[in-house]
Amino acid sequence: MFSPPDTDSATRSTDQDALHARLSASRLGYIPDPWAALFLSRPQGVQNRPGLINVGTWLRTRSVDLLVEEFIARVEGGGKVQVLSVGAGSDTRFWRLATGPLKDRLAKYIEVDFPEITSSKARSIWKHARLKVVLGACKLDAGGTALHSEVYHLLPFDLRQPPAALGALLNLDAALPTLLLAECVLPYMPPEAGGALLHWATAGLGLGGERVPVGVVLYEMFGLGDAFGGVMRENLAARGVSIPGTLPSLHALQERFEAAGYTQSSALTLQDIRTHYVPRSETERVATLELIDEYEELDLVLRHYAVAWASKGLAGEGEGEWGLRKAGEGEES
Ligand SMILES: C[S@@+](CC[C@H](N)C(=O)[O-])C[C@H]1O[C@@H](n2cnc3c(N)ncnc32)[C@H](O)[C@@H]1O
């Protein structure tokens, strides 16, 4: 019997790319990530990535980590937050946070992805005591595609469905500040679906009434109308991966936030971040890790990826806003 090709499986395969990149960057000392290898059945079979991929992984992981930490730190009175990571794939950020100084600030950390991805992640968690012990008591659900513990929840959901359907699954707390994370996810979805998700967060997360504060952190490729973008699209298309949700410019990323009701927003390329937002001591440390000789190519790649963040109702908006700090602002440059 004819069965249509599963076009989503190509999209899902991008999670392995991200996981392999994280493993490579952590092995080589770019980022601390003792958890990544636990999500692979044969981590020893994964080769390290080229230097420019490692640098990109370092910059995006470091930037998103800093934004998450600062969002939590800004919540008044040292209160708790809930984090919703969409298209989370095999991301390890929960384990890094839950074993770090901010662990008591997490009320809920929910990860959402396709069921094929969540069931594989749930199996890894179940198999590795090191992952499971961080969760405390936990149980599998929905035929092994979901997993629940007191703080951490893993749920299957196709993000192209209306966000109201997602909200109905989440059991979020209307009283808590909420941070939405979408790391390299929205480009794989139709632009309307990404916009609807961003708007749903500012419009009250389906909890009735506008609730604040809410923040969002994105990482994604953009500006693919040039020769570099053409090659990237062709390479992805050869694997069956399409990226209908990519935006043409940094400005468009901020406009999307504004259209979705955020009152503060920023977007930086990884190249901006590398040049102006990393303390010199950290840049010097990373320069010793491996020899990078393709600097022109590195610049080109980094100029096509952005970290972007936006908020509504977060303390300090308009003053010292939530965001990445330039090197030299309050730290060694
Ligand atoms: C490039 S990976 C990124 C994974 C993770 N956020 C990270 O940064 O390592 C993209 C992820 O988005 C997920 N994804 C893409 N479209 C999705 C959709 N419509 N519904 C649920 N998940 C989706 C994929 O399955 C994959 O895990």
Can you say which residues are annotated as belonging to the binding site? 60, 87, 158-159, 183
Residues sharing a CB contact under 8 Å with residue 325, sequence separation 6 or more, in sequence order:
277, 331
- Residues 286 and 227: beta-carbon distance below 8 Å: no
Integer-rounded Cα radius of gyration of the chain: 19
- What would the DSSP string read from start to end of 213-242? -EEEEEEEEB-TTSHHHHHHHHHHHHTT--
Tokens of 48: 């390290």
Give the mean pLDDT of the chain.
Answer: 93
State the Cα–Cα distance between residues 268 and 250, nearest whole angstrom. Answer: 7
pLDDT average, residue stretch 186-203: 96
State the Cα–Cα distance between residues 112 and 146, nearest whole angstrom. Answer: 9
Can you say which residues are annotated as belonging to the binding site for S-adenosyl-L-methionine? 60, 87, 158-159, 183
In this predicted model, what pLDDT tens digit does every residue of 173-182 receive, in sequence order?
Answer: 988 999 999 9
Dihedrals phi, psi of 110, to nearest 5 degrees: -110, 130
Counting from 1 in the atom list of ligand 1, the atom nearest the Cα of 219 is 8
- The confidence score (pLDDT) of residue 332 equals 46
Residues sharing a CB contact under 8 Å with residue 113, sequence separation 6 or more, in sequence order:
15, 86, 87, 88, 89, 121, 156, 157
- The confidence score (pLDDT) of residue 294 equals 86
Is the model's pLDDT at 298 over the cut of 90?
Answer: yes
State the Cα–Cα distance between residues 328 and 119, nearest whole angstrom. Answer: 44
Is the model's pLDDT at 287 over the cut of 60?
Answer: yes
The proportion of the chain whose per-residue pLDDT surpasses 90, expressed as a percent, equals 86
Give whichever of 41-45, 305-309, 325-329 has the largest mean pLDDT.
305-309
In this predicted model, what pLDDT tens digit does every residue of 133-180 receive, in sequence order?
Answer: 999 999 999 999 999 999 999 999 999 999 999 989 999 998 899 999
Around Cβ 209, how many Cβ atoms within 10 Å?
Answer: 8
Q: Pick the closest to residue 313 from 213, 217, 216 (CA basis).
A: 213
Q: Which of 188, 189, 243 to mutate to test the pocket of ligand 1 (most atoms within 8 A of CB)?
A: 188
Tell the residue number behind the tokens 């990571």, with chain if given.
Answer: 85
- Protein residue whose Cα sits closest to atom 13 of ligand 1: 87
Domains of the chain: 7-13+58-312 (3.40.50.150)
Residue 67 alpha carbon to ligand 1 centre in Å: 20
Compute the 3-state secondary structure of the chain and give helix, strand, coil in percent, each to the nearest 5.
Answer: 45, 15, 35
Residues with CB under 6 Å of ligand 1 are: 11-12, 14-15, 18, 87-89, 91, 113-114, 117, 158-160, 183-185, 188-189
Cis peptide before 213 (omega within 30 of 0): yes
pLDDT average, residue stretch 52-67: 97
